[in-house]
Amino acid sequence: MENLFELLVAAFLVIAGIFGIVGSFGLIKLNDPMSRLHAPTKATTLGVGGVLLASMLHAAAFEKYFSYHELMITLFLFLTAPITANFIAKVHIHRQETRDTMPEAGGDDHWATHDTPEDEERRHASHTPPAEE
């Protein structure tokens, strides 16, 4: 049983290390900014998840206590990774793309980050509230 846990912890650690290094290697290797976004947000998050799982198993099997902190960290990281990725993609749209290079946003409008003050005025003008009787 001890051996099985040892094998599991070691396997999780090795897998986590490989995922972590692949994520960061992808960050410097890939050419396109939006493909660079994929490597760290997915591979590195999985790598940290592996380390945290290994740590939890290690604590439960060898240190004789059960720790919940790792679950909290894992949950937090898995919840926040997509949000940060979304924000970084928005920054990319804001700085690198123009209205002409982006696909249609649907409807008669365009992507929110390309809004100009004139657009805002136009929108307000077309949505004026009905005059009070």
Partner 1 sequence: MIESAATFAFACFALAMLMNLWKVVTAPDVADRILALDTMFINAIALMVLYGMALGTEIFFEAAMIIAMLGFVSTVAYARFILRGNIIE
Answer whether 113's CB lies under 8 Å from 90's CB.
yes
The torsion defined by the Cα of 26, 29, 30 and 35, in degrees rounded to 10, comes to: 20
- Residues 1-60 contacting partner 1, CB under 8 A: 6-7, 9-11, 13-14, 16-18, 20-21, 23-25, 27-28, 33, 36-37, 40-41, 44-45, 47-48, 51-52, 54-55, 58-59
Which residues touch 89 (CB under 8 Å, ≥6 apart)? Answer: 34, 37
> What is the residue whose two structure tokens read 């924000």?
87
Distance CA 10, CA 20 (A): 15
Structure-block tokens of residue 85: 């990725």
Q: x/- binding map, residues 96-125, to partner 1, per CB under 8 A?
A: x----------------x------------
Q: Which residues bind partner 1 (CB under 8 A)?
A: 6-7, 9-11, 13-14, 16-18, 20-21, 23-25, 27-28, 33, 36-37, 40-41, 44-45, 47-48, 51-52, 54-55, 58-59, 63, 65, 67, 69-70, 72-73, 76-77, 80, 83-84, 87-88, 90-92, 94-96, 113
